[in-house]
Amino acid sequence: MSQRREVNNTMKLLDRLETLLTLAECNSFTETAKRLYCTQPTITKHVQQLEAYFGATLLIRDGNGIRWTAAGEIALNYSRKTIHLLMEAQEKVRHSVLQHNQICSIYTSQYIASCHLPEILNAYHRKFPNQLLEIHALNYADLRQALLAGQARFALMPLYEEDEQLQEHFTSRQLFEEQLVLVMPADHPWASRKRVAMRELNRQTLLLSQSKYMNQLISQYLQRYNARVQFLQMSNFQIIAQAVKAHLGLSFLPAPVVTEWLARGELAAVPLSSLSLTRSNGLLIPLKSRLTEPEQDFIRETASYFKSRFPKIV
C-alpha cells in the first residue's frame, strides 16, 4: 500500500509541475485554467501545494500578471528538466520495446509516403512477410525534430544543404532527384504553351508549402532570374494542388504529386525556358548509428526501389 501511495503522490506532483510550466507559458491563471480544462481555484491550489512542497513562495500575482520569485525560477528550471527527462525515458523505453519485438519504425515525409511508400512496402512485405513495421508520415519540420530528439533512427525525406544542423549530425544518402514542375489550372492561358519564360512569372501569385527549406530553394531560383512574385503559404502539396485548381495561384510541385490531376485534365504543367528546378530526396541516418537488421533490410529495399526508377542517382 505504501508503494502505491508513493506512486500516486509522484503522479500528483508531476501533474502540479505541468500546472507550473503551463502557468509560466500563459502568465495568467485564467488562461492556464482554460488550457488545462479546470478552474482558477484549482490552479491556485496546485501552486499552493507546490509552495508547500518546496517550502518557499514561487510567484507573486500583481496587476501586470505573474512575477516569479528566485525560488520560483529554480523550481521552473528543474520542472522543465524533470519533464524532459521523463519524456526522454519514455522514448528510450519505447525504442527498447520496439527492438525487443523487432518492430521496425519508419519515419518518412508525407510526400514520399503518399507517392512512393506503397510500392516500397509491397516489395518489402513480399520478402519479409512477418516483419512488423510502424509508419510515421510527417512534414519536414516534424521529421527534423524527430531526428534531433532521437525518436527517429533514420528518415526518408528531402535533403537540403542549407539545413546545417542535420548535415552536421547525420549521414545523408541521396536516393533520387526530382523536378519541381510549374503547375497551373487546366484553363490557364499558358496551359497550351510549350514553355513559359521566367520573366512571365513577374507579378504572379505563387503558392508555397510550409517547408522552410523548400521555400528557400524556390525563392533562390526565382531571384536568380529576377522574377518577382507574390507568395501565399498553404499547408501541404495536396492542399496546394487543390488551391491551384481553384485559381488561387501557380505553384512548383514535385511531378508525382500532380500526375493524377494532369491525367484527369484538372491541372496543367508547363516547362520553363530556363534551367529546371530540382530537389534531392534521400536518407538521413545519425552518425555512428547502429541500425538493426530489419532497419537495414528496409533501407536496402528502399534503395533498390529508387534505383529502378532513378538509376543515375542511387
Kindly provide the b/e burial profile for residues 203-240, where b requires at least 16 CB atoms within 10 angstroms of the residue's own CB: ebebbbbebebbeebbeebbeeeebebeeeebeebbeb
Enumerate the β-bridge partners of residue 224.
none
pLDDT at 97: 61
Judged by phi (left if over 0) then psi (alpha if -120 to 50, else beta), residue 313 lies in alpha
pLDDT at 292: 86
Q: How confident is the model over 162-195, as pLDDT tens digits? A: 899 998 999 999 999 988 899 999 999 999 998 9
The pairing of strands 155-159 and 132-138 is: unpaired
pLDDT at 89: 82
Return the H-helix or E-strand segment holding 206.
strand 205-208
Q: Evaluate the CA torsion angle 154, 160, 163, 164 in order and state its sign.
A: positive
- Decide: pTM greater than 0.85: no
Q: Evaluate the CA torsion angle 191, 193, 197, 199 in order and state its sign.
A: negative
The pairing of strands 103-109 and 132-138 is: parallel
d(C-alpha 314, C-alpha 57), whole Å: 62
Determine contact, residues 156/299, Cβ cutoff 8 Å.
no
The alpha carbon of 72 is separated from its chain's Cα centroid by a whole number of angstroms, namely 34
All 3 cell numbers of residue 22? 503551463
Beta carbons within 8 Å of 313's beta carbon, 6+ residues apart: 174, 175, 176, 177, 306, 307
Q: Which residues of the chain have pLDDT under 50?
A: 1, 314
Determine contact, residues 110/158, Cβ cutoff 8 Å.
no
Judged by phi (left if over 0) then psi (alpha if -120 to 50, else beta), residue 208 lies in beta
d(C-alpha 197, C-alpha 242), whole Å: 24
Enumerate the β-bridge partners of residue 109.
138
Maximum Cα–Cα distance across the chain = 79
